[in-house]
Amino acid sequence: MTINDYKNKIRQQLSYVDKVYWVLFAVLIIVAILALFSASSTLAFEKDSSTLGPIMEQMLFIVAGVGLAFILQFFPSKLIRIVSYAGLGISIVFLLLTFTSMGVEVNGAKRWLRIFGIVFQPSELAKLTLLLVVGDLLSRIKTAQDQKKYFFIVLALTVLVCSLILVGNLSTALLLGGIVFLLFFLARVHIKYWGTTLLIAVVMLVAGYFFIEKVYIEPNRKVEGVMKRATTWVGRIDDMIAEWKTPNEEFKLTDDNYQRTISKVAIARGGVSPVGVLPGNSQERDFLPQAFADYIFAIIVEESGIVGAVFLMLLYLAILFRSCLSSSKYADYAAMLMVMGLALMITCQALVSMMVAVGIGPVTGQPLPMISRGGTSVLITSLYFGIIMCVAREQNELHDRQQSATAASEEDVPEIYIE
């Protein structure tokens, strides 16, 4: 092939790129950069560094994420599905290693892993690879026997991965399990399978709550290890219920409710005006411990008001809507499940993060995709977009070839004139 042939091939591949996804991705990155500048003072204070230090560090991750997404969209989706099985195995090993001396404890939970000096969150990789594997396995269902076989394979993998994540991060485990159940629904798995499993899971969670409440919390027993995290989860639910029952005049600021309370204060300040206090004028970012991470939505609302909050929610919903619209036309069933799994994870994780920031629900630990600070989260979310855009490019190319073939076949049909 000549250089011109290569250039033409590159131009042709670029013409198949889904521009709508890239626009949504670009807007999300712009919001992330603006939010990062707003939270920079808190980051600089925590790291005892200049304001630009944390910003440049996160900007490097964003640039690397964009590069990964751009390159990944030109990979064959079948190769990505094959590699995801190896990736799932590696992520399970990484999750197991977090329980060893290689695990890094942050805020009482070992969610991080240090390898060769690099610290990252294995659960983010596990979420990505599990959803890809689940989508591929469920796409193989052809008969009733297949449905039973692949349901239990997927269920076993999901229970294994979620159990390993649950020890350090309950909300992530519940979110991942919920997305898998949505994929069961999309794959038209019979309700007798996933419905029964869902019922058992809910009963176990409720029973676990009352067990920990009666055995550990009420007697004020001192606990360590896994049960310490369990008492923390139940304690958050108790604190939330107590806040609902406590009159405003009797409310007291404590270490347990400090973060939630300051988050609500930030949102209340943003609600004074439809556009908030405007970017750069946040006051609560200097008092909110996780202003740049799990609670960054509160700072966004403080600075941009209801307009910014609604815009961000619509942006994430637009990603899901675009995925639903495009995947409904995909000829490849595995590709459809893969795209929907990733799109649901991005949107649902964003909604959970927003709910936590405004005080709806007791769970914590969910970063706002592409916006919350964190290298692992940014890179993995960029991979989500890269894979979604990879499938979109392939389907656009397939559609173009089908149209060309149809047009060519119509030209080959002889014209018959009847007088």
Please indicate whether residue 64 or residue 241 has the higher confidence score (pLDDT). Answer: 64
pLDDT for residue 347: 95
Q: Note whether residue 178 is domain-resident.
A: no
pLDDT in tens, 178-229: 999 999 999 989 888 988 988 999 999 889 888 888 888 877 777 666 667 7
Is residue 267 very low, low, confident or very high in pLDDT (cuts 50, 70, 90)?
confident
pLDDT in tens, 341-366: 999 999 999 999 898 888 776 656 68
Q: Is 372 helix (H, G, I), strand (E, B) or coil?
A: coil
Mean pLDDT comparison of 65-69, 228-232, 333-337, highest-scoring range: 65-69
Q: Note whether residue 365 is domain-resident.
A: yes
Q: Note whether residue 191 is domain-resident.
A: no
pLDDT in tens, 82-113: 999 999 999 999 999 988 878 887 766 678 88
Phi-psi region of 272 (alpha: psi -120 to 50; beta: other; left: phi over 0): alpha
Q: Note whether residue 279 is domain-resident.
A: yes
Q: Note whether residue 146 is domain-resident.
A: no
Is residue 44 very low, low, confident or very high in pLDDT (cuts 50, 70, 90)?
very low
Domain count, the chain: 1
pLDDT for residue 45: 46
Tell me: pLDDT of 158 over 80: yes
Strand partners, 104: 112
Average pLDDT in the chain: 83
Q: Note whether residue 266 is domain-resident.
A: yes
Amino acid at 231: T
Cα distance between residue 142 and residue 349, in whole Å: 31
Q: Note whether residue 308 is domain-resident.
A: yes
pTM, two decimals, is 0.88
Domain range for 366 is 17-102+253-401
Amino acid at 206: V
Which residues, other chains included, contact 322 with Cβ-Cβ below 8 Å and sequence gap of 6+?
Answer: 20, 21, 24, 343
pLDDT for residue 295: 81
Q: Note whether residue 166 is domain-resident.
A: no
